[in-house]
Amino acid sequence: MTQLTTIQIPGFRGDVITPEHHDYDGARTVWNGIVDRRPRVIARCQGTADVAAAVRFARDCDLEITVRGGGHNVAGTAVCDDGIVIDLSAMRAVSVDLVEHTALVQGGALWGDVDHETQAHGLATTGGIVSHTGVGGLSLGGGIGWLMRKHGLTIDNLVEAEVVTATGDIVRASADDHPDLFWALRGGGGNFGVVSSFRFALHPLGPTVMAGPIFWAAENTTGVLRFYRDFVADAPDELMTVVRLGTVPPLPVIGDELHFRPAIAVASCYAGPVADGERALRPLRQYGAPLVDLVGPTLYVDHQSGIDDTVPHGWHYYWKGTNLAALSDAVIDIVAEHAYGATSPRSYAAIFHMGGAVARAPRGATAYPERNVDHNMSIDAVWLPEQDDTVASAETAWARAFFDALEPHRAGVYVNFLDFDDDTTRIREAYGDANYQRLAEVKAEYDPDNVFRNNKNIQPATPAR
Ligand SMILES: Cc1cc2nc3c(=O)[nH]c(=O)nc-3n(C[C@H](O)[C@H](O)[C@H](O)COP(=O)(O)OP(=O)(O)OC[C@H]3O[C@@H](n4cnc5c(N)ncnc54)[C@H](O)[C@@H]3O)c2cc1C
């Protein structure tokens, strides 16, 4: 075993960042400001060869490994105490192939990088709804976003991936190469290796789309949700909506007088011609008396980054996620009762409308299990770093009580919305028994020693005796 006195990683050309390094604190910081871990070394890779070198080094030194894509996972799984971070944050290149209509995206890219390069050609693929989220973690968990009802989840658009395995080998996974690995990567998270690059299918889009939020006062929540439920039941695949319950965020496009007022919003994006989007959204825009209607022709890249500032790096976050089979009257009553009970005006709940192309993809084609749920919900407690433990406890308790009240109506959970310790027991819930078992078998083949375990971990299957 290599001794760790001075740290030199054989064959590594990137930055080796140890606690003495001037950028150590910056390099170990992730999106959720609660997370405060001190790795022994951060290996900031320049490319695939560096990733392979870092994996081999970590194994030789028996170091705990974490993998950092965009650093956005709410549970902070990109960093660990005393181990090595395989840091992909310098690997953000995106190149568009205009013949094949695909994008080759390095494993540390953010969605803003992908949108920037692809929209320059009027193309796009399904990505997250906040531009500073990482492509790596989001894609490997499934990937929900504005384009999914038209074009499927992010993983439905994954054509191939370059993967550094637990042995430090570099393999290509696609429908033809390592198909079992390719299946597992599409939903199974970072359990199977480090993805140094993804190739995604692209689709024509915009660059201008009909998009934006409409806000109504919180008192109207029950009515808005009942109307919304019926409205989205017939929505075309092009129309994707997200309900946001909390307070009006203090964005520059919204008048000061509305800032932090309790409100329900329906945010939308129509992935098709603006005129069609205008028609599709008209009934929603005519419902009730909105506080403000910000729907209009918008550059897709602007829409993709429109809420970035409402969830900045460094604030404190705690999430509870759940899928909902349907927005029944009972669910709507629970949502209306709990949604505005948070102490912090920055806490909110979001409900993503699923269906469309997500639901039509063949069952079992990928490791993402929950294709038949109508709605995916995340209850997000948010407070400021300077606020004390009383606020932290109140916000956490609010999210848990809200989640507990929904228990009879829950239908699984999206793995990328799982949070800290009290969610580690929910990984089987995220995959279901059959999918989990199949993932465990692929894990046993590609990572039998569970080297990649700082994630939403799938234990390698033990061979039958
Ligand atoms: C503000 C915000 C908005 C979000 N919006 C959406 C959304 O619209 N849609 C959605 O689906 N999800 C969304 N999410 C959830 C998001 O999918 C997860 O947080 C995801 O883990 C983020 O990926 P990351 O690369 O930034 O995270 P990281 O913290 O860097 O990585 C999380 C884990 O993913 C694995 N990983 C990351 N990159 C790689 C790689 N290249 N190879 C192998 N393993 C890797 C590792 O196991 C790592 O521990 C959002 C999260 C936040 C915080």
Tens-digit pLDDT profile for residues 206-219: 999 999 999 999 99
Residues 6+ apart with CB under 8 A from 149: 235, 237, 238, 239, 240, 271, 353, 354, 355, 356, 357, 358
Neighbour count for residue 306 (Cβ, 10 Å) = 21
Q: Which ligand 1 atom is the nearest neighbour of the CA of 110?
A: 26
Structure tokens at 259: 């800032």
How far is residue 291's CA from residue 255's CA, in Å, rounded to a whole number?
10
Low-confidence ranges of the chain (pLDDT < 50): 1-4, 465
Q: Which ligand 1 atom is the nearest neighbour of the CA of 191?
A: 47
Structure tokens at 412: 């699984």
68, 78 contact by CB (below 8 A): yes
Q: Which ligand 1 atom is the nearest neighbour of the CA of 317?
A: 53
Q: Where are the beta strands (DSSP E) in 100-232?
A: 102-106, 123-124, 158-164, 170-174, 194-201, 203-204, 208-217
Could you report the per-residue pLDDT of 114-144, keeping only the tens digit for each?
Answer: 999 999 999 999 999 999 999 999 999 999 9
Measured in angstroms, how far is the CA atom of residue 434 from the centroid of ligand 1?
Answer: 24
Q: Which of 94, 193, 170, 98 is nearest to 134 (CA)?
A: 94
Confidence (pLDDT) at 325? 87
Confidence (pLDDT) at 424? 72
Q: Which ligand 1 atom is the nearest neighbour of the CA of 154?
A: 11
How far is residue 291's CA from residue 266's CA, in Å, rounded to a whole number?
12
Neighbour count for residue 409 (Cβ, 10 Å) = 18
Q: Which ligand 1 atom is the nearest neighbour of the CA of 145?
A: 8
Ligand 1 interacting residues, C-beta cut-off 6 A: 31, 66-74, 77-78, 88, 107, 128-130, 133-134, 136-138, 140-141, 143-145, 189-190, 194-195, 311, 416, 454-455
Sign, CA dihedral 215-219-225-231, equals: negative
Confidence (pLDDT) at 5? 52
274, 210 contact by CB (below 8 A): yes
Q: Name the closest-CA residue to atom 3, ligand 1.
A: 130
Q: Name the closest-CA residue to atom 50, ligand 1.
A: 133
Confidence (pLDDT) at 3? 47
51, 194 contact by CB (below 8 A): yes
How far is residue 443's CA from residue 459's CA, in Å, rounded to a whole number?
7
* pTM of the shown model: 0.96
Pocket residue to mutate for ligand 1, from 31, 73, 446, most atoms within 8 A of Cβ: 73
The H or E element spanning position 304 is helix 300-305
